Amino acid sequence: MKRYWLLFSQWVTVLVAIWFVVATLQPEWLRSAKRSADGMTLLQAPVGSDLNRPAGSLSAPARQASPAVVSINTSKSNSSRPQSQDPWFRFFQGEQDEQNPAGLGSGVIVSPEGHILTNNHVIEDADDIEVVLADGRKAVAKVIGTDPETDLALLKITLDKLPVIVLGQTQNLQVGDVVLAIGNPFGVGQTVTSGIVSALGRSQLGINTFENFIQTDAAINPGNSGGALIDVNGHLMGINTAIYSRSGGNMGIGFAIPISTAQQVMQDLLQNGKVIRGWIGVEPQELSAELAQTFQLPAAGQGLPSGVVITGVLKNGPAASAGIRPGDVIVKVAGQPVRNVAELLTQVASLKPGTPAELNIWRRQGEVNLRLTPAERPAVNKQRR
């Protein structure tokens, strides 16, 4: 028994000595052994794996959405310019290049058939449109239709195995949500910037006729127009369209057209080649205390509901035929309240031309219901931006 005890003591002494040496010279071995004993895996994640990404990394949504965001190059031929055919112009200016670059922009592939959403101002007046994919492939794009009043355009390319972005649900977007802007700013190549949703439903900015913008502080610069605004899941939430800037560069105030609006426009362009909207032929203006006094209307809070005052009515137009007069205040369109000019434009535009609709107006003696048949909104050739 004494012999076994002596042998045990010697082994304990040797093990303690080994532990002391390892703890002194290689303490990380002991930490690794402890993690193993606790059941932790010591396998290293592959390079580039999401397991190696730091907390808060947005690489996953960027990697998911980026392949579907394209660069758009447009050009305008000299032959389309009348002065280029003038011999005096050619004598003094010399022979011009056959093609002159007209601009750069971005777009988003939204269907496997090759449909691309972009801004109207990106491809407006272009004779040739070239689309460059993130994988380097190029294709000539055909214009399916444009809508200058929302500044949207729908293109189509013919290529195989196209990456398609996932469309998001704009109603789920909230102020403060993290978003990414993807595009080709200044033609430097595909670029991803991040920020948050600064505001929703921005309107009356004078950018488009119909405005319902998502405002973001994600950097948007010239060339980003038509690119994607995505959420943290990589889903498309908007089409980047404009910035507020005094210098021409990003100042932290950018605007995107919600995908809900873009989907409606895209559906009309696919079905009809244009967007069909209702129109009643009036000149609306925000209702103020001065206008209420001018048209002898009761002041706000004294019986006058919120609405939009009509300052002009087109002769022989739908509104004139229905009996609407200057000084009337439109308070409801098809049962929907009207609080400002932007809401009136949107609600009238949603009316189906040729189908009667009910309007609630306020006159001096009180509220009056009228039945009106909207016409189709006249086309706009160019959108002033």
User: Are 250 and 338 in the same domain?
Assistant: no
| Of 275, 299, 322, the domain-final residue | 275
- Give the residue from 275, 300, 318 where a domain finishes: 275
> Is the same domain home to 183 and 258?
yes
Per-residue pLDDT of 117-140, as tens digits, reads 999 999 998 899 999 999 999 999
Inside any domain, residue 5: no
- Of the chain, the percentage scoring pLDDT greater than 70 comes to 78
Domain assignment present for 133: yes
Please report which confidence band the pLDDT of residue 258 belongs to, taking 50, 70 and 90 as the band edges: very high
Q: How many domains does the chain have?
A: 2
**Do 237 and 283 belong to one domain?**
no
Q: Of 268, 266, 216, whose CA–CA distance to 243 is shortest?
A: 216
Average pLDDT over residues 23-30: 66
87 lies in the same domain as 128: yes
Is the pLDDT at 231 greater than 90? The verdict is yes
Do 101 and 192 lie in one domain? The reply is yes
- State whether residue 284 is helix, strand or coil: strand
One domain, residues 345 and 200: no
Domain shared by 87 and 236, yes or no: yes
Domain extent for 294: 278-376
- For 62-110, write each residue's pLDDT tens digit: 999 999 999 999 988 765 555 555 655 454 445 545 444 557 899 999 9
**pLDDT, tens only, 143-181:** 999 999 999 999 999 999 999 999 999 888 999 999 999
Return the CA Rg of the chain. Answer: 32
Please indicate, yes or no, if residue 17 is contained in any of the structural domains: no
Q: Residue 321 maps to which CATH number?
A: 2.30.42.10
* Domain containing residue 78: CATH number: 2.40.10.120
Q: What kind and span of H or E run contains 266?
A: helix 259-272
275, 308, 325: which is the final residue of a domain?
275
Residue 339 confidence class, pLDDT cut points 50, 70, 90: confident
Do 257 and 331 lie in one domain? The reply is: no
The number of residues in the chain equals: 385
pLDDT at 9 over 80: no
Write out the catalytic residue numbers: 121, 151, 225
Q: Domain for residue 242, yes or no?
A: yes
Give yes or no: residues 223 and 249 share one domain. Answer: yes
pLDDT in tens, 180-205: 999 999 888 899 999 999 999 888 78
Three-state DSSP at 246 gives coil
DSSP sequence for 187-203: GS--EEEEEEEEEEEE-
- Predicted pLDDT of residue 78: 60
